[in-house]
Homo-oligomer: A and B are copies of this chain.
């Protein structure tokens, strides 16, 4: 089997030196475990955080360990009654073309739902992140305005589509004209602002123009100047769902990161904002509800999705680096034995 391990911790942007492709013996599943041949593995911004040796919601990856990733694979050996050979299993198999996990940490993918790659995107962790955050904390009301960054990504595009279906005005933020076009044409956003070359002030101007009634819900997955532009436009009783901050993952500083907390604090008070941290694992019991509600909408095309597929494990580091710079347009996956 092949796997990619963390070779060195990045200083800022990860470089090639941070990753090492290794060959290893196929592992043997223990009692209650399954071995899969990975079909697709997922690349997600949160993985950048795991490369740093700091406290987060999960422990950092250690030097020499396989990089972490969600993946979907076909079971080739099962020591669990919950899976039989040939089943698709979704689990944390890492950056590798095979993997072993306890069956109880995995769930089965129904191939009738569509391509196994969907289990990593629109019907996987990113889609569920968007859905769980919006349904638990969004308190969406028709006629309100929602803003979300990384608008064509798998989280942002789901957030925007759910909000549109709830009757909100939806304004996206994305990098480049092509993504902005896609947000509007493919995902049905009312507008999408290109953040390239815009500081927080320019973002504010652009957002003000597209959000004439202010912003009621901000789904935060980018941070940086987008956040700086959003904050002054938040309405009374506004909700901010903090899901990620890709603009800051490589440690960049900017004027928004330096926004004094005291000013923000005052705004929370004056507008009685709710700011809520979101991690999808807190909501995992609601996954059946998610599949029941969103699965048919994906099948019918009522909810659109876009995938970027890289081919082969050896191309994962470059695809990941591109992802962190916004080089992807949709959900980034790596095809292994798809």
Task: Give A contacts to B, CB under 8 Å.
Answer: 55-57, 220, 223, 227, 242-245, 248, 253, 256-266, 268-279, 282
Contact = CB atoms under 8 A, between A and B. Distances in A.
A135 to B, nearest CB: 16
Contacts of A270: 55-57, 277
A261 B259 contact: yes
A277 B268 contact: yes
A56 B263 CA distance: 12
A265 B240 CA distance: 11
A257 B253 contact: no
Contact of A265 (B223, B260, B262, B263): B223
A269 B277 CA distance: 4
21 contacts: A57-B272, A223-B262, A227-B261, A242-B268, A245-B262, A245-B269, A248-B265, A256-B262, A257-B263, A258-B261, A258-B262, A259-B260, A261-B264, A268-B275, A269-B277, A272-B279, A273-B277, A274-B275, A274-B276, A275-B275, A275-B276
Contact of A272 (B55, B220, B273, B277): B277
A276 B268 CA distance: 7
In the complex, the 8 A-B pairs of residues with the closest C-beta atoms, listed nearest first: A257-B262, A272-B277, A275-B275, A259-B261, A268-B277, A269-B277, A257-B260, A242-B268
Q: Which of A245, A256, A275, A279 has the most CB of B within 10 A?
A: A275
Give the interface SS of chain A, mostly helix, strand, loop or mixed. mixed
Contacts of A261: 227, 256-261, 264
A265 B269 CA distance: 17
Contacts of A277: 268-274
Q: Which of A248, A256, A277 has the most CB of B within 10 A?
A: A277
Nearest to A238: B277
A255 to B, nearest CB: 10
A146 B260 CA distance: 25
Contacts of A227: 261, 265
B278 A266 contact: no
A253 B260 CA distance: 9
Q: Which of A56, A244, A259 has the most CB of B within 10 A?
A: A259
A35 to B, nearest CB: 33
Given A245-B269, A258-B261, A268-B276, 9 more contacts: A57-B270, A57-B272, A242-B268, A245-B265, A253-B262, A259-B260, A261-B261, A261-B264, A272-B276
A53 to B, nearest CB: 14
A268 B242 CA distance: 7
A269 B248 contact: no
A242 B265 contact: yes
A332 to B, nearest CB: 21
Contacts of A256: 261-262
A278 B262 CA distance: 16
A257 to B, nearest CB: 3
Nearest to A281: B272
Contacts of A56: 270
